[in-house]
Every structure is written in C-alpha cells, then in structure tokens.
Amino acid sequence: MNKALTIAGSDSGGGAGIQADLKTFQELEVFGMSAITAVTAQNTLGVHGVYPMTPEAIIQQIQAIGEDIGTDAVKTGMLFSSDIIEAVSEQVRKYRWENLVVDPVMIAKGGASLLQQEAIFAMKTYLLPLAKVITPNIPEAEVLTGLTIRSAEDKKEAALRLVELGVQTVVIKGGHDEDESESTDLLYDGREFHTFTNKRIQTKNTHGTGCTFSAALTAELAKGASVYDAVLTAKEFIQAAIEDGIEVGHGHGPTNHGAFRKKKELGNR
C-alpha cells in the first residue's frame, strides 16, 4: 500500500492540520502517518493556544517512520519555529525523501500566527530547496517573495522567485484572488505555466482548505502520479469538499473530506 507522512500541527477541532491530512490520505486510499510539530487548542472560532513540540520529539517521530515503515511522499504543514524547520529539513535529507510537498502554513483562518517571523528565513534556506512542490496561498507567497500579488502576472513573478529558491514546482493557490466569481491556481514547473480555474463557492466553511489540498496532492504523488495530475486530483478533491460542506461549530467550519469519494461513487452508479 502506498504511504504518506504528514509533518504538521494538530488541530483539536479536526478541520485542519494532521487531522485533515490523515482524513484526506484515507479517502485517497493511502496509508497515512504523522509527526506532530505542535499541539493547538483550536476550533472553528480560532486558535486559542499553540504548544510546540521540542525538535527532539519531532525528530524521534520522523525517525520512527523512517527506520521502519518508510514513506512514498511527505508533506509539511505548520512548522512554527526555525529550530523545528531545521530539524525537519535534516531528517528529509537523511532519508532522501524526494516527494516533499511544503505547505508553508503561516496564519490560521482566524488570523492567529502559526509561524514565527524568524522562521521564514529558515524555511527559505533549509526546507524549500528540498521541496518537489510548494503550495502557498497568495499572502504566503507574498511573504516568501517580498512581492505584492494582485494580478496573474504578479503570480507568475512570485512563482519564478520561488523556483529560484530551489523549489522544483510552485502551486500558488487562488483562494485569495480578488475575483469574487472564480479562483485561479497557478502551477509553474520551472519550464511552463499552467492555470486551474474553479467557480468560487460562497461559504464561510473553508477551515483547513490549504491543508486538505496539499494532503491530496501528497497522496497522489505517493501513488506515483505526476505533479500535474496530482494537482488536478487535489483540485477536484478540495472543490468537492467545499461544495458539499458540513455545518460544524459557530465560526469558519471545516470542509467535507468524504465528498470526493461520494461524488465518484454516485458517478459510477
């Protein structure tokens, strides 16, 4: 069975973080494993506490996977500090894990910071050169590149700069596009640009969309898909998850991780 490892924070509310990743892995028929970088006290109303693990605890979790089970793909989510980023990067190099998807989680849906300011340098220096794919949203791409992104050309320039940092493929997500009717993701593989446009769904239940998208992409890479095909499936997965949303909590609710499978089952009847 194909395997995928998520190295990320825990979301007690279940909508994002390793909880969203493991649900996504399971839905896409990949055996999911995790190394927890931080425990958050979190629900649909926001993040109420962040408790990072020590680098040693994270290293031991990763080594437990690397020395026994192994993995076909890895994704990183919330890494929080420069010490954690350096520790994770060292382990990725040690085990020569090439299918690395970096979701540069910086800010929670409610506005809480999930990455310390000084950790941005560590991410650009140690982690991004190891990444097969990076999946920033527009605000994250702006932080990593120093650009202001307002147009399609701005996205392309940001993608070029991220590739210069050593990333193989960039996917800049369009959820923060100014267009209220649709959103467009940009993929750049170092040679060609590709765009993926979807109808924008008017809902407040978008908690964990970035985690879920990158987890779906990681699952498909673990199964041997090309980056382009993995992005296509990840787009379909998250679109279905948002369209067929669920009402949980009183704030920004989660997406429906089972929607993609149910949609396929209905299509096969």
Catalytic positions are 173, 206, 208-211
Here the tokens at position 184 are 């467009």
> For residue 27, what is the enclosing H or E element?
helix 17-27
Rounded to 10 degrees, the C-alpha dihedral 154/155/160/163 comes to 150
Q: Check the CA dihedral 117-119-125-128 and report its sign.
A: negative
* Residue recorded with tokens 């560590």: 122
Token reading at 76? 């990183």
Angle of CA points 47, 215, 112, to nearest 5°:
15
Pairing of strands 133-134, 100-102: parallel
d(C-alpha 22, C-alpha 246), whole Å: 18
Provide the pairing of β-strand 73-76 with 100-102: parallel
